[in-house]
Amino acid sequence: MRSAWEPTDRYLERSRLRRFAERNGHRDYASLLRWSTDDLEGFWRATERELAIQWRVPYSQAVDQSRGMPWTTWWTGGRMNYVATALRHDPGRVAVIAEAEEGAVRTLTYGQLATQTAHIAAGLRKLGVERGDRVAVFLPLTVECVVAVLAIGAIGAIFIPVFSGYGAEAIAGRLRDADAKVLICADGFYRRGQVVAMKETADAAADAAPSVKDVVVVRRLHREVPWKARDSWWEQIASDGETSSLDIADTSAEDPFMVIYTSGTTGKPKGALHVHGGFPVKAAQDLAHCFDLQERDVILWSTDIGWMMGPWLITGGLMLGATIVLYDGTPDFPDASRMWSIVERHQVTHLGISPTAIRGLMRSGEGPVRSTDRSSLFVLGSTGEPWNPDPWWWYFRNVGESRCPVINYSGGTEVSGGIVGCTTWTPIQPGSFAGPCPGMAADVVDEQGRPVRGAVGELVIRKPWPGMTRGFWRDPHTSESRYLQTYWSRIENVWVHGDWARIDEEGFWYIEGRSDDTLKVAGKRVGPAEVESAAVAHPAVSEAAAIGVPHEIKGEVIVVFAVLRPGHEAGPELARSVQDKVAEVLGKPLRPDGVCFVTQLPKTRNAKILRRVIRGAYLGKADLGDLSSLENPAAVDEVRALAIS
C-alpha cells in the first residue's frame, strides 16, 4: 500500500539523520536502528558528537550498567552543564520569540538570552540559591520562563516545572515534596482575554510549603498584587545580579537538573528525576533525528512549562541552535486562525500540536487555515495521544498542504521524550510511527514478554538510554522503590511503559492507548483508541472516549462518550447509529453497549483525555484519584450526571 507521505529529494538531501547514519557506515534506516541498540557505546558516543555537547571534562565511558539496568548511568567521569551547550551559538541569532495572547511579541537573541540568564543566575545566587537547591517555575510560556529555566541550570540548582493552570494545593504538594527553596511566578496571565491571577495562587501555595523562603514575581500583566516580606520583583533580582559574564556551575553529567512531576492514577504524583546528561541530551537528539531540527529552524510547540514538552522544547531546541517560539495563550483565541497566523508571522518551520487541539480547530472548517500563508512549514509534529484518521488527514492536507510530514511522537515524562516516532527519512501512514526512535530498543510483547506482531501488546524497552529517569525524587534505591515497581517489576530487566501498541504487517507502529485503559470484551482485548477512531468515523462525532464497564455476562462492555459536531442533535437514534458504525468498523462483538453524548471530555491542559476519570465518574466512584492536571472540571460533572445508578 502506498504511504500517505514519502520523503522527497528535498527532505532526503537535508536529513541530518541520514547524513549521520552514512557517516557511521549505515546506508539505510533499518541498519541505523540496529546499530543504535546493538552498540550503545558506539551509537551514543557518535550522537553526543553530532549534537556538539560541550564538555568541561571528557567522559571515559558512555554507558555504565554495573549497578543493574534500571540504575544505568551515562557519561562516566564526564563533567558538563547543558546550559553551556544551549548558549554556545552565534550571539546575533534569534533564540526566543514569545507571543502573548493579547498580541505583544518579544524577541531575544542568543547573546541577549545569555546576558539575561547571567543576571538572573547571579541574582538567585544572592538570594541564597545554591547547587542542588530546588527552584519551582510557575510561569506562562514567556521570555522570563526560558531565562529562569537556564539560570537555575547554570547555578546547578534543580528546576521544578509547575503547570500554569494548577490550583494552590496541587502546587503546594509539589513544593513540599521537593523542599523547594524559591518559587518563581507571574502576577497573572490571560486566557481567552480573561485575567488569571497567578500571584494569589502562588501565595497560597507558598504559605502551605514551609521550605519556600523567597517568591520571585514576573510582571506579566502589571497588575496590583498582594505583597509579602518574602517577595521580590524579577527585575530587582536581575539588577542585583548584574554581571558581565555567565558563571555556569561545574556539574557532572549525572547531577540532577530537573524534577518533573507526573500525575498518578491514584495517590500523590511522582517526581521524575532527570540529569544534565539525560533529559536535555535526549530532547536534542529526538529533535535532531526525528524532527530534523537544525540551526536557524524555527520551532513552535503548543505546550506549557509544566508538561514535559515545555522543558523539552527549551532544552532541546536551544541546544540545537534553533529559534523557539512560545505562545502564551489559547490556540483558537481570538479566533481559529491564531495558530496558523503565528506560523505566518514568525515563519515557523516546525509546528507541534496535539490531535485533540486539531479536532477542536477542525470545527471551524478550513477557512481559518487557508486564510494564512504556511509556506514556511517544513515539519508538522504531534504528541500526547493516538490519532484518529480524519483529524490526521485534516492536519496533513490543510495545515501542511500535503507536503509536510506529520512526525508522530510518543513517549513520556520519565523517558525524556520519544519511545516511538517518525522521521523525515522514512515513509509515513496516518496516525502511525515509523518505529522506535533511534537509540530506543522498543518492542511490543505479550504478557510473558514475547514479541507480538499484528496484534495489540505491551510497549516495552529492552535496553537503557540516556534520558531514562534516574528514579523518583525521595524514592530510595531499594527493591521496594516505587520506580522499580512502576516500570521494572513485570518483566525482568525490561521497562514496561504502560501503553498498548501494535505493529502492522507493513511494519508501521501504532499506540492504542494506556494499558490501564484496556478494554476486554468477550475475551478480546482492544485499545480504546481503536474504538474511538471507529466512533469518530461517524459523520456526527467530533471526539470520543471509550471505556470499559463491568458486565455480569460478558465481563466488560464498551461505553463510548461522544462530543458531537455542530448541527447534530443527541438522541437514541443517533446513539444507535454510532454503535452501528463502531460495529461496522470493528465487528459486531465490539459494538458498544451504549453511547453517551457530552459537550466536552475531561482533559489535561496538554489535551490528554482522562479515561480513568471518565470511567470512575460514570461508575459513581467518589475518589477519582489525582485530578491536579484536569483542565475542565465541568466535564466530570457532565459524566457524573450520566452515571450508572
CATH number at residue 589: 3.30.300.30
CB 473 within 8 A of CB 271: yes
What are the distances in angstroms from CA 42 to CA 10, 33, 54, 236? 29, 13, 18, 48
**Higher pLDDT residue, 386 or 468?**
468
Q: Is residue 295 helix, strand or coil? A: coil
**Higher pLDDT residue, 476 or 319?**
319
| pLDDT (tens digit per residue) in 482-498 | 999 999 999 999 999 98
Please check the confidence at residue 267 and state whether its pLDDT lies above 60: no
How confident is the model over 336-363, as a mean pLDDT?
94
Note the pLDDT of residue 518.
64
Please check the confidence at residue 608 and state whether its pLDDT lies above 70: yes
Note the pLDDT of residue 295.
96
Pick from 256, 286, 285, 289: which is nearest to 273 by CA? 256
Q: In angstroms, how far is CA 157 from the centroid of its own chain?
A: 23
Does residue 135 fall inside a structural domain?
A: yes
Rounded to 10°, the helix 40-50/16-23 angle is 130
Q: What are phi and psi of 551, to 5 degrees?
A: -140, 135
Calculate the dihedral angle through the C-alpha atoms of 356, 361, 363, 369, rounding to the nearest 10 degrees.
Answer: -140
Please check the confidence at residue 522 and state whether its pLDDT lies above 60: no
Using the Cα atoms of residue 578, residue 579, residue 583 and residue 586 in order, give the sign of their dihedral: positive
Note the pLDDT of residue 516.
66
Q: How far apart are CA 218 and CA 238, in angstroms?
A: 11
| CB atoms closer than 10 angstroms to residue 71 | 18
The model's confidence at residue 264, banded by pLDDT at 50, 70 and 90, is very low
CB 578 within 8 A of CB 535: yes
The model's confidence at residue 77, banded by pLDDT at 50, 70 and 90, is very high
The model's confidence at residue 473, banded by pLDDT at 50, 70 and 90, is very high
Note the pLDDT of residue 525.
59
Please check the confidence at residue 354 and state whether its pLDDT lies above 60: yes
Rg (CA), the chain: 24
Peptide bond into 334 cis (omega under 30): yes
Q: To the nearest whole percent, how much of the chain has pLDDT over 90?
A: 80
Note the pLDDT of residue 98.
98
| pLDDT (tens digit per residue) in 45-72 | 999 999 999 999 999 999 999 999 999 9
How confident is the model over 5-33, as a mean pLDDT?
97
Please check the confidence at residue 162 and state whether its pLDDT lies above 60: yes
Domain boundary among the residues 220, 240, 260 is at 240
Does residue 146 fall inside a structural domain?
A: yes
Q: How far apart are CA 92 and CA 109, in angstroms?
A: 6
Sheet strand arrangement including 509-514:
442-445, 457-461, 495-503, 509-514
| pLDDT (tens digit per residue) in 112-156 | 999 999 999 999 999 999 999 999 999 999 999 999 999 999 999
Domain boundary among the residues 240, 263, 298 is at 240
Does residue 423 fall inside a structural domain?
A: no
Q: Could you tell me if residue 52 is left (phi over 0), alpha (psi between -120 and 50 degrees) or otherwise beta?
A: left
Q: How many Å from the N-terminal Cα to the C-terminal Cα in the chain?
A: 48
Q: Is residue 144 helix, strand or coil? A: helix
Range of the domain at 221: 110-240
User: What pairing do the DSSP bridges indicate for beta strands 188-191 and 194-197?
Assistant: antiparallel
Does residue 605 fall inside a structural domain?
A: yes
Note the pLDDT of residue 265.
40
Q: How far apart are CA 285 and CA 167, in angstroms?
A: 34
Q: To the nearest whole percent, how much of the chain has pLDDT over 70?
A: 96
Q: How far apart are CA 447 and CA 256, in angstroms?
A: 34
| pLDDT (tens digit per residue) in 80-100 | 999 999 999 999 999 999 999
Q: How far apart are CA 440 and CA 415, in angstroms?
A: 10
Note the pLDDT of residue 152.
98
Does residue 73 fall inside a structural domain?
A: no
Note the pLDDT of residue 553.
62
Note the pLDDT of residue 355.
87
The model's confidence at residue 432, banded by pLDDT at 50, 70 and 90, is very high
Note the pLDDT of residue 520.
66
Mean pLDDT for the chain?
Answer: 93
DSSP 71: G
Exposed, middle or buried: residue 600 (CB in 10 Å: 0-12, 13-18, 19+)? middle
Domain boundary among the residues 197, 215, 240 is at 240
472: cell is 523518583
Note the pLDDT of residue 476.
86
Note the pLDDT of residue 100.
97
Ranking 33-37, 59-63, 183-187, 501-505 by mean pLDDT, the lowest is: 501-505
Does residue 155 fall inside a structural domain?
A: yes
CB 570 within 8 A of CB 597: yes
Rounded to 10°, the helix 528-536/572-586 angle is 120
| pLDDT (tens digit per residue) in 211-245 | 999 999 999 999 999 999 999 999 999 999 888 78
CATH number at residue 214: 3.40.50.980
The model's confidence at residue 266, banded by pLDDT at 50, 70 and 90, is very low
Does residue 206 fall inside a structural domain?
A: yes
User: Structural domain tally of the chain?
Assistant: 2
Q: How far apart are CA 340 and CA 394, in angstroms?
A: 14
pTM of the model: 0.86
Does residue 285 fall inside a structural domain?
A: no
CB 395 within 8 A of CB 364: no
* 183: CB partners within 8 A, 6+ apart: 135, 136, 138, 175, 202, 205, 206, 209, 212, 214, 215, 216
Please check the confidence at residue 528 and state whether its pLDDT lies above 60: yes
